[in-house]
Chains A and B, each alone.
Chain A
């Protein structure tokens, strides 16, 4: 017997509008100030009426285009009825049979293999508020904060096209990257602007070749990429054990809803979901339908600009980057790629620019927990003052990195950026001098030092060793030369020592 994991994801994305979906309350993550962002509409006061936020619909359409969905020419909103204290109307305004977009896909790559993940639909709905339960176990009242109630959400439902936990994680990461690129959401999982439910089951192939699907389980409220991966792996193992024990197939039992306990690393059974029919969807009479013309659809397509997948391909092509480097740079987000392109253009060497960004710059950003927007060195400064000096053999690459580290220390102390490229360049010049890192272009001076080192009594053994074929012996000699001339280029020194020994 063998099995295949089958996963489909439902992703909820909060749109970054200024206001809520149906009222003018501010759309802001504000858990420390409960119930200050509400009005008669989002608290469901009698007689209040919702009016659709134009920007929310516009961001929703951008989302649809980015995930290759078709935009409906006619769409409407429906009431999804259920009782829960975080939803004061006792219905959620959502979309049932005529969502604003359908039939898309997202390309992902896992372990070098391209996969096309189908997207069934994306619809626009409102978020609920937040319940906080008494954790003391004494059965105290639950607290309700309605700040979030009415926040615009796009729900993106994938086909069950993912075949492993790793694929599900990659799909989610690519989706997040895409949606942050087009500025429709900040996709902050800690703050709940990106939330994920996973539908998981197994396709089992029995020993006699018979294929059987196990019952589908929905794992709710996964709020980290790692959580998605771990929960799916856990579910697959759990379902496999149950199948071997009971042989239960899809249809034998109702679809189960489970929660994910990140601390214990386990899924657990949750309240049974009311059947879909019990939501008693019907068109919301408070809202009118929306129609979209072909011209409007085209305008959305034209507004998107370059998406991450296209940008990766272009970087590989235009700057001769490896697939890996292109992927690392693009995955850092739009601003980082703009910074990269600016460095690459200024120094004319895409590969060097990539090395600097993926190593030095990213390391400093991570250590200091700053974004590229707050990075103290401008793209122009990095290119002209450091990378180009290496290219022009004014300093060695090793020296450039030492100077870079010193510049970052400066920043750590003053917390001030080098806004002015001229001042920055002067500082680099000053450091080169102070640290004695100028590459010695005067070969005469270098020759003198090399000759002196080779003439030393104590070095004769190393010279003999090298002549005898021991390549490593040259290292000790190089070290002595470099100690005397700090800015010497290691390659030049090495070459000179070897030539001189061979000519002895």
Chain B
């Protein structure tokens, strides 16, 4: 990842994260994110030839729980942090089925 991050890349990442950035912020983050990537780039110096990719940072596998029902939250408790509810559902601004995420 030695290529420099462009403003377009940051715009795309912001869109995917549903963040609305001002022109000023776009400049700031383009520069800052590039620095972060450059820092991580150090890892590319390690020779990873013939090394199996890791699926997890610790060498543990097969952690299961039994299929036993545990109490759920009450509806009241579940909804209490939501900005908007109708008492039984979370309410969110209308989702436009036909709109693309970009529009």
Identify whether the interface residues of A are mostly helix, strand, loop, or mixed: loop
User: A251-279, CB under 8 A of B: which get 1 and which 0?
Assistant: 00000000100000000011110100010
User: B37-70, CB under 8 A of A: which get 1 and which 0?
Assistant: 0000000000000000001111011111111111
A333 at the interface (CB under 8 A from B): no
Which residues of chain A are near B100, meaning CB under 8 Å?
Answer: 271-272
Interface segment, one of A143-151, A181-189, A307-315, A467-475: A143-151
Q: Across the interface, name the chain A residue whose C-beta is closest to B67.
A: A55
* 11 new A-B contacts at CB < 8 Å, known A35-B90, A43-B78: A24-B65, A25-B72, A26-B72, A40-B73, A51-B65, A53-B64, A57-B64, A132-B89, A271-B100, A283-B55, A289-B61
Interface centre among A74, A76, A144 (most CB of B within 10 A): A144
B2 at the interface (CB under 8 A from A): no
Query: How many residues of A are in contact with the other chain, CB < 8 A?
Result: 57
Q: Is the CB of B91 within 8 A of A142?
A: yes
Q: Is the CB of A35 within 8 A of B89?
A: yes
Residues of A with Cβ closer than 8 Å to B? 17-19, 23-26, 33-40, 43, 51-57, 74, 76, 81, 83-85, 98, 131-134, 139-146, 259, 269-272, 274, 278, 280, 283, 285, 287-291
For the complex, give the distance between the alpha carbons of A146 and B92 in Å. Answer: 13
Shortest A86–chain B CB gap in Å is 9
Query: How many residues of B are in contact with the other chain, CB < 8 A?
Result: 40
Shortest A485–chain B CB gap in Å is 64
Which residues of chain B are near A83, meaning CB under 8 Å?
Answer: 16, 18, 101
Q: Is the CB of A98 within 8 A of B67?
A: no
Given contacts A288-B56, A291-B61, contact A143 B69 (CB under 8 A): no
Count CB-based A-B contacts (< 8 Å): 137
Q: Is the CB of B56 within 8 A of A289?
A: yes
Q: Is the CB of B55 within 8 A of A289?
A: yes
Q: Across the interface, name the chain A residue whose C-beta is closest to B58.
A: A288
Which residues of chain B are near A24, meaning CB under 8 Å?
Answer: 65, 68-71
Across chains A and B, which 4 residue pairs bring their CB atoms closest together, nearest first? A24-B70, A55-B67, A143-B89, A54-B64
Can you offer 8 A-B residue contacts whose CB atoms are under 8 A?
A: A24-B69, A34-B89, A35-B79, A36-B72, A54-B64, A83-B16, A98-B55, A142-B94
B3 at the interface (CB under 8 A from A): no
